[in-house]
């Protein structure tokens, strides 16, 4: 286990070093992504200005929401960016390489890719959460809760991403299917959390856990709600166990392929 983790850290380090080689492109990606994310804050802050406070959510909560969503995205895809390429790997036969590796399969696949823009997501998320903590005048306990919730949201994000991309082994046109499902999971996490009430809140918490990425952690920190903290962590763990089970089951369906052909 220790060896596997060393290997993962080594792979991540090399991925980042390789990406940073193209310095201008690397920096442009980081800054560009941070500006890109600001758009959502602008939109929802104007929404709050036009519509008023909904479900107790203010402009500060929107900043917190964006903070949790983007930082978990940044963390997960910094260390496990390869998961999003599983469908591409299975389609092209590249997955064979990973299966032949003596390392842990999921770890090997997860650390196989890194995109510079996720650093922009991470920095943006961190900045948002610092601003959020200042705006709500967070106590030390709330700051500790923010750190705990970052870990919990990252766990949820990682688990659901593994789950979605494990479906690559079940479909011929997996890239499109997984892209659509990932979009379906991610997009609501960037929406105004206060507007999700009743059935919508239930669906996007327990069935498609998008609200666990931002809306519920924000409310957990703001209201210091023990039930919401436990809910996020518990659901994160459940999703993670399920995702590992699904991945291991799905891999058994993989049929090795290569590009060697008969004839010319």
Partner 1 sequence: MKETRLAIKILKTLTKDRLQYPGRLMVDTLTVISRCGILLLLYWYVYNLKGGLINGTSFVFVAWSIFFYFSFSTLRLRDIARQIMVDIQSGNVEVLFSKPVSYLSYRAWWQIGLGLYSFLVITAVAGLGLYLLIGLPFTMTLSLFLPTLILTFLFAGALSLLIYIAVGLLAFWIEDVNPVFWIVDKAIMILGGSYLPVALFPPLMYKMALYSPFGASQFVTHTVNESWASNWYQLIGIQIFWIIIISIVVYFMFEQAKKKVSVNGG
Binding site for partner 1 (CB under 8 A): 22, 24-25, 28-29, 31-33, 35-36, 38-40, 42-44, 46-47, 49-52, 54, 117, 171-173, 176-177, 179-181, 183-184, 187-188, 191-192, 195-198, 200
Nearer to partner 1, 98 or 125 (CB): 125
Distance CA 155, CA 49 (A): 33
Q: How far is the CB of 167 from partner 1 (least distance, A)?
A: 12
Nearer to partner 1, 145 or 168 (CB): 168
Cβ contact 55:197 at 8 Å = yes
Distance CA 72, CA 236 (A): 13
Q: In this structure, what token pair is assigned to residue 46? A: 């104007």
Distance CA 213, CA 65 (A): 8
Q: How far is the CB of 253 from partner 1 (least distance, A)?
A: 18
Q: How far is the CB of 229 from partner 1 (least distance, A)?
A: 25
* 12 exposure class (CB count in 10 Å sphere: 0-12, 13-18, 19+): middle
Nearer to partner 1, 35 or 151 (CB): 35
Q: How far is the CB of 178 from partner 1 (least distance, A)?
A: 9
Nearer to partner 1, 7 or 47 (CB): 47
In DSSP notation, 214-247 reads: THHHHHHHHHT-HHHHHHHHHHHHHHHHHHHHHH
Q: How far is the CB of 172 from partner 1 (least distance, A)?
A: 8
Q: How far is the CB of 211 from partner 1 (least distance, A)?
A: 11
Nearer to partner 1, 119 or 150 (CB): 119
Distance CA 203, CA 195 (A): 13
Nearer to partner 1, 9 or 22 (CB): 22
Nearer to partner 1, 35 or 234 (CB): 35
Nearer to partner 1, 36 or 101 (CB): 36
Q: In this structure, what token pair is assigned to residue 26? A: 């690397």
Q: How far is the CB of 35 from partner 1 (least distance, A)?
A: 5
Output Rg (C-alpha) for the chain, integer angstroms: 19
* 15 exposure class (CB count in 10 Å sphere: 0-12, 13-18, 19+): buried
Distance CA 111, CA 106 (A): 9
Q: How far is the CB of 177 from partner 1 (least distance, A)?
A: 6
How many angstroms separate the first and last alpha carbons of the chain?
A: 46
Element (H, E) at 38: helix 23-51
């Amino acid at each position: 286990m220790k060896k596997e983790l060393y290997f993962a850290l080594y792979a991540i380090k090399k991925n980042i070093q390789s990406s940073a080689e193209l310095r201008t492109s690397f920096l442009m990606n980081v800054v560009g992504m941070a500006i890109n994310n600001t758009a959502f804050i602008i939109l929802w802050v104007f929404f709050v200005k036009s519509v008023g406070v909904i479900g107790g959510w203010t402009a500060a909560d929107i900043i917190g929401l964006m903070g949790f969503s983007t930082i978990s995205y940044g963390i997960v895809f910094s260390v496990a960016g390869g998961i999003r390429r599983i469908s591409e790997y299975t389609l092209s036969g590249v997955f064979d390489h990973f299966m032949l590796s003596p390392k842990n399969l999921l770890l090997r696949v997860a650390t196989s890719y890194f995109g510079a823009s996720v650093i922009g997501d991470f920095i943006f998320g961190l900045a948002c959460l610092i601003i959020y903590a200042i705006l709500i005048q967070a106590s030390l306990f709330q700051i500790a809760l923010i750190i705990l919730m970052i870990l919990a949201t990252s766990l949820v994000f990682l688990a659901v991403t593994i789950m979605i991309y494990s479906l690559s082994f079940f479909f011929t046109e997996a890239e499109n299917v997984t892209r659509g499902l990932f979009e379906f999971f991610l997009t609501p996490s960037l929406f105004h959390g206060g507007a999700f009430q009743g059935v919508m809140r239930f669906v996007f918490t327990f069935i498609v856990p998008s609200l666990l990425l931002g809306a519920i952690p924000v409310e957990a920190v703001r209201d210091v709600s023990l039930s919401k903290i436990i809910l996020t962590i518990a659901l994160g763990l459940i999703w993670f166990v399920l995702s590992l089970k699904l991945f291991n089951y799905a891999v058994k369906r993989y049929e090795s392929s290569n590009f060697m052909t008969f004839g010319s």
